[in-house]
C-alpha cells in the first residue's frame, strides 16, 4: 500500500508543480519586468527548472524580454478570445496564472503554450534589434541577394536568435516522455513558426525628397497581432490526436498520432491536442471554468460572441447605459485636435 500511496503523492506533486509552466508568472511579477529598476535574482523566480535557472544566470540581460514576451502573449490571448466563453482569464494570487484550465490537454492549452512560446521569441528578437542586450543584435544572416532596385540595410531582426531563446527557455521543461510533453513541444514550436512564417521585408527610400533613388530593406517580424491571428486560426483548425505508448530502451514513451485517419496529419505549424474542452458554461473550479454569467454578449451576432451561444441558452438581460463619447472634434492648426464629450446611449446585454 505504501509504495502506491507514495506513487500518488509523487503524481500529485508532479500535477501541482511539474507540469505547469510556473515561470509564466514572470509576466505578473513587476519585479522581473524591468532590469533597470532592480537586478534580477534568478533564484527568486518561481518554477524555474535547472536548465532555465542556468539560462537565467548566464543571460540575465535577456530575462526582462522573456517576461515581456509572456506579458504580450497574455494580452494577445485575451484579445483573441475576448468574445468567447473561455476568454483567457488569468487568476491573481496563484503561480498557475491561467488556473486549472491548462491541466487538460485541450485546444485552449495548445493555444496558450503556442502564444507564450511565440511571445518569448518575439520579445527577445525585438529587444535585441533595439540594442537592449550585448549578446545579441541585428541579424547578419542576410538571406539571399537583394532584389531589383534595393539593397540590404538597416537592422534585420534576428528571428533565429529569439527562436533559439524560446526553444531553450520555453521548452526546457518539456523533455518528459509523456504525451503532454510531446504536445507542449509541438505547440511551442508551432508558435515560433507563426513568427518565422510571416517574417517580411521592410523597406525605406532614400533620395531627394523621397525619390527612392536608393531603397534599403531589412527583415522584420510581423506585428504580434498577426501572430495572434494566425495562431487563432490554428486553434480553430487544431488537430485532435490519440496517445500511443511504446516500449523503448529508456522505458515507456508516449507519442501522438492523428486520431482521425481521414484528416491530414498536422504539420509543425498546426496546433495539436488530445483532450476535449469543457463547454465553459458554468463555473467549475475543477476545470477552471468561470462560467459565462454576467458576461457581455452581442445581441445581433449569430456567432460565438452572440447572446445565444455565449450565454449557453440561459438567456440574457438587456439595459441601456449612458456613456460619454468624444465628438465634434476640431483640428487646430498646427497640430492638435480638440473634442467635446457627448452622452450616448448604449444597449448592453449580459448573460443570465
Ligand atoms: C490582481 O493583480 C493586479 C496586478 O498584479 C493587482 O493590481 C490587483 O490588485 C490584484 N487583484 C486582486 C483581487 O488581488
Ligand atoms: C472574461 O471572463 C471573466 C469570467 O467570466 C469575466 O470576469 C471578465 O470580465 C471577462 N473579460 C472580458 C474582457 O470579457
Ligand atoms: C455584434 O455583432 C455584429 C454582427 O456580427 C457586428 O457587426 C458588431 O460589430 C458586433 N458588435 C460588437 C460590439 O462587437
Domain contains 114: yes
Looking up cell 495562431 gives 231
Average pLDDT over residues 112-129: 96
In short, whether 74's Cβ falls inside 6 Å of ligand 1 is no
Which run of H or E residues covers position 242? strand 239-248
Q: What share of the chain is helix, strand, coil (3-state, %, to 5)?
A: 40, 20, 40
Domain contains 105: yes
Domain contains 299: yes
The ligand 2 atom at the shortest distance from the C-alpha of residue 88 is 1
CA distances for 24 relative to 29, 175, 272, 319, 331, angstroms = 10, 18, 21, 39, 44
Number of domains in the chain: 2
Q: Are residues 189 and 305 in the same domain?
A: no
The ligand 1 atom at the shortest distance from the C-alpha of residue 92 is 1
Q: Are residues 86 and 125 in the same domain?
A: yes
Q: Are residues 276 and 313 in the same domain?
A: no
Which residue's CA is minimally distant from atom 7 of ligand 2? 295
pLDDT (0 to 100) of residue 205: 87
Domain that holds residue 102: 16-142+157-198+223-286
pTM score, whole prediction: 0.87
Which residue's CA is minimally distant from atom 7 of ligand 1? 92
Please state, in angstroms and rounded to a whole number, the distance separating the CA atoms of residues 332 and 338.
Answer: 8
Which run of H or E residues covers position 83? none
The ligand 1 atom at the shortest distance from the C-alpha of residue 30 is 5
Domain contains 1: no
6, with CB counted inside 10 A (0-12, 13-18, 19+), is: exposed
Q: Are residues 277 and 306 in the same domain?
A: no
Q: Are residues 247 and 315 in the same domain?
A: no
Q: Ligand 3 — pocket residues by CB below 6 A?
A: 298, 300-301
Dig out the grid coordinates for 41 from the structure: 535574482
Domain contains 151: no
Q: Are residues 174 and 113 in the same domain?
A: yes
Domain limit, last residue, from 264, 286, 308: 286
Residue 95 CA to ligand 1 center (angstroms) comes to 13
Q: Are residues 50 and 80 in the same domain?
A: yes
Domain limit, last residue, from 268, 286, 304: 286
Residue 2 has pLDDT above 50, yes or no: no
Residues 151-179 pLDDT 10s: 888 899 999 999 999 999 999 988 889 99
Q: Are residues 187 and 251 in the same domain?
A: yes
The pLDDT-based confidence of 13 (bands split at 50, 70, 90) is: very low
Residues 50-81 pLDDT 10s: 899 999 999 988 998 999 999 999 999 999 99
Residues 231-253 pLDDT 10s: 999 999 999 999 999 998 888 99
Residue 109 CA to ligand 1 center (angstroms) comes to 24
The ligand 2 atom at the shortest distance from the C-alpha of residue 294 is 5
Domain contains 239: yes
Residues 211-223 pLDDT 10s: 888 888 999 999 9
Q: Are residues 296 and 166 in the same domain?
A: no
Average pLDDT over residues 132-158: 83
Which residue's CA is minimally distant from atom 14 of ligand 3? 298
Q: Are residues 94 and 175 in the same domain?
A: yes
Residue 287 CA to ligand 3 center (angstroms) comes to 29
Q: 118, 191 in Cβ contact below 8 A? A: yes
Domain limit, last residue, from 233, 261, 286: 286
Please state, in angstroms and rounded to a whole number, the distance separating the CA atoms of residues 67 and 61.
Answer: 11
Backbone angles phi, psi at 292, to 5 degrees: -120, 10
Domain contains 147: no
Residue 76 CA to ligand 3 center (angstroms) comes to 20
Please state, in angstroms and rounded to a whole number, the distance separating the CA atoms of residues 10 and 17.
Answer: 10
Amino acid at each position: 500500500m505504501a509504495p502506491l500511496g507514495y506513487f500518488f503523492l509523487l503524481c500529485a506533486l508532479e500535477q501541482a508543480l511539474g507540469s505547469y509552466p510556473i515561470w509564466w508568472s514572470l509576466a505578473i511579477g513587476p519585479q522581473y519586468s524591468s532590469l533597470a529598476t532592480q537586478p534580477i535574482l534568478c533564484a527568486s523566480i518561481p518554477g524555474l527548472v535547472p536548465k532555465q535557472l542556468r539560462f537565467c544566470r548566464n543571460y540575465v540581460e535577456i530575462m526582462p524580454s522573456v517576461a515581456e514576451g509572456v506579458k504580450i502573449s497574455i494580452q494577445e490571448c485575451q484579445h483573441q478570445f475576448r468574445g468567447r466563453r473561455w476568454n483567457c482569464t488569468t487568476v491573481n494570487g496563484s503561480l498557475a496564472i491561467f488556473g486549472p484550465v491548462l491541466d487538460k490537454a485541450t485546444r485552449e492549452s495548445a493555444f496558450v503554450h503556442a502564444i507564450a512560446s511565440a511571445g518569448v521569441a518575439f520579445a527577445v528578437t525585438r529587444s535585441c534589434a533595439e540594442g537592449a542586450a550585448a549578446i545579441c543584435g541585428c541579424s547578419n544572416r542576410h538571406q539571399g541577394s537583394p532584389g531589383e532596385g534595393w539593397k540590404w540595410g538597416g537592422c534585420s531582426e534576428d528571428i533565429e536568435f529569439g527562436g533559439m531563446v524560446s526553444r531553450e527557455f520555453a521548452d526546457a521543461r518539456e523533455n518528459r516522455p509523456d504525451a503532454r510533453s510531446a504536445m507542449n513541444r509541438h505547440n511551442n514550436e508551432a508558435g515560433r513558426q507563426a513568427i518565422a512564417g510571416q517574417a517580411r521585408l521592410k523597406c525605406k527610400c532614400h533620395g531627394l525628397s523621397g525619390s527612392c533613388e536608393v531603397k534599403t530593406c531589412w527583415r522584420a517580424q510581423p506585428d504580434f497581432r498577426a501572430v495572434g491571428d494566425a495562431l487563432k486560426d490554428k486553434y480553430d483548425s487544431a488537430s485532435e490526436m490519440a496517445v500511443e505508448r511504446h516500449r523503448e530502451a529508456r522505458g515507456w514513451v508516449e507519442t501522438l498520432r492523428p486520431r482521425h485517419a481521414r484528416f491530414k496529419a498536422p504539420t509543425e505549424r498546426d496546433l495539436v491536442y488530445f483532450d476535449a474542452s469543457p463547454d465553459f458554461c458554468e463555473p467549475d473550479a475543477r476545470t477552471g471554468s468561470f462560467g459565462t454569467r454576467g458576461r457581455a454578449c452581442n445581441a445581433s451576432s449569430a456567432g460565438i460572441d452572440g447572446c445565444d451561444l455565449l450565454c449557453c441558452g440561459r438567456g440574457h438581460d438587456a439595459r441601456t447605459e449612458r456613456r460619454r463619447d468624444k465628438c465634434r472634434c476640431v483640428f487646430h492648426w498646427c497640430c492638435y485636435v480638440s473634442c467635446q464629450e457627448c452622452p450616448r446611449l448604449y444597449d448592453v446585454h449580459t448573460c443570465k
